[in-house]
Homo-oligomer: A and B are copies of this chain.
Amino acid sequence: MFHVTPLAEALSLAIDHFSNFSAKKVRVELSQALGCYLCGPVSFEEFVPDFNRSTVDGYAVRAEDIRGCSESNPGLLRLIGSVEMGNHSDLRIDSMTAVMVPTGAEVPDGADAVVMIEYAEKFNEDEIAILKPVAPGSNMVFRGDDGKAGEILLDKGHRLRPGDIGSLAALGVTEVEIFKPLKLGILSTGDELVRPSEKPARGQIRDVNTPLLEAFSRQMGFEPVVHNFIQDQETLLDAALSQLCESSDCVLVSGGTSVGVRDNLARVIEKHGQILIHGLAVKPGKPTVIADIGGKPIIGLPGNPVAAYFMTRMLVKPLLMKLINTESEEISVPAKMAAAYSSNQGREEFVLVHLEDGMVSPIPSKSGLITNVSRANGFIRIPRDSEGLAKSDEVRVIYL
| Residues of A participating in the B interface, judged by any CB pair closer than 8 Å | 1, 30-31, 34-35, 44, 46, 48-51, 53, 55, 57, 83-89, 102-106, 118, 137, 140-141, 145-147, 153-154, 160-174, 190-193, 196-212, 214-216, 218-219, 232, 257-259, 303, 305, 309, 331-334, 365-375, 399-400
Chain B nearest CB from A104 CB (Å) reads: 6
The reply to whether B331 and A369 contact each other, CB–CB distance below 8 Å, is: no
Q: What is the CA–CA distance of A167 and B170 in the complex, to the nearest angstrom?
A: 41
Contacts of A399 in B (CB 8 A): 331
The reply to whether B192 and A172 contact each other, CB–CB distance below 8 Å, is: no
Contacts of A85 in B (CB 8 A): 190-192, 203, 232, 258
The reply to whether B258 and A366 contact each other, CB–CB distance below 8 Å, is: no
Q: Which chain B residue lies CB-closest to A199?
A: B172
Contacts A86-B191, A369-B146 hold; do A309 and B166 have CB atoms under 8 A apart? yes
Q: What is the CA–CA distance of A53 and B304 in the complex, to the nearest angstrom?
A: 12
Q: Which chain B residue lies CB-closest to A147?
A: B371
Q: Among the listed B44, B173, B205, B210, which residue makes an inter-chain contact with A104, where contact means beta carbons less than 8 Å apart?
A: B205
Count copies of this chain in the complex. Answer: 2
The reply to whether A203 and B373 contact each other, CB–CB distance below 8 Å, is: no
Q: What is the CA–CA distance of A87 and B204 in the complex, to the nearest angstrom?
A: 7
Q: Which chain B residue lies CB-closest to A308?
A: B166
- 25 of the cross-chain contacts (CB-CB < 8 Å) are A34-B219, A57-B259, A83-B203, A86-B192, A87-B203, A88-B201, A89-B203, A103-B258, A145-B367, A147-B371, A153-B371, A163-B309, A164-B373, A165-B212, A165-B214, A165-B215, A166-B208, A166-B209, A166-B211, A166-B373, A169-B196, A172-B198, A174-B196, A174-B197, A331-B399
Q: Which chain B residue lies CB-closest to A193?
A: B86
The reply to whether A373 and B169 contact each other, CB–CB distance below 8 Å, is: no
Contacts of A205 in B (CB 8 A): 49, 104
Q: What is the CA–CA distance of A231 and B215 in the complex, to the nearest angstrom?
A: 42
Contacts of A191 in B (CB 8 A): 84-86
Contacts A333-B331, A367-B145 hold; do A206 and B86 have CB atoms under 8 A apart? no
Q: Among the listed B160, B170, B369, which residue makes an inter-chain contact with A49, where contact means beta carbons less than 8 Å apart?
A: B369
Chain B nearest CB from A275 CB (Å) reads: 21
